[in-house]
Amino acid sequence: MVDPATGWCKHLREDNMCEIYERRPDICNVSKAYKNSAYKDRKEFYKLNNLYCNLFQEADGMDISFRIDVSKYEED
């Protein structure tokens, strides 16, 4: 789904929202990706996914308002 010329997903709108969210491929659907992974710990899988998402956003210079709060995954 990445446009090789820009490095961005070709379905990402100018407002940084997905234009095919309801029909997105499995790789973009965290729940389906988890089911297809070897991870046993769902919470850990989601935490890592969110951390990487934040890193990609930061690397691409996206506004900080799009960052995911991963503190909900911290141990009590």
Predicted pLDDT at 72: 85
Residue 69 pLDDT > 60, yes or no?
Answer: yes
Q: How far apart are CA 5 and CA 3, in angstroms?
A: 5
- In the three-class reduction of DSSP (H, G, I as helix; E, B as strand; rest coil), residue 63 is classed as coil
Is the entire prediction scored with pTM above 0.85? no
The upper half-sphere exposure of residue 60, i.e. CA atoms within 13 Å in the direction of its Cβ, equals: 16
Residue 20 pLDDT > 90, yes or no?
Answer: yes
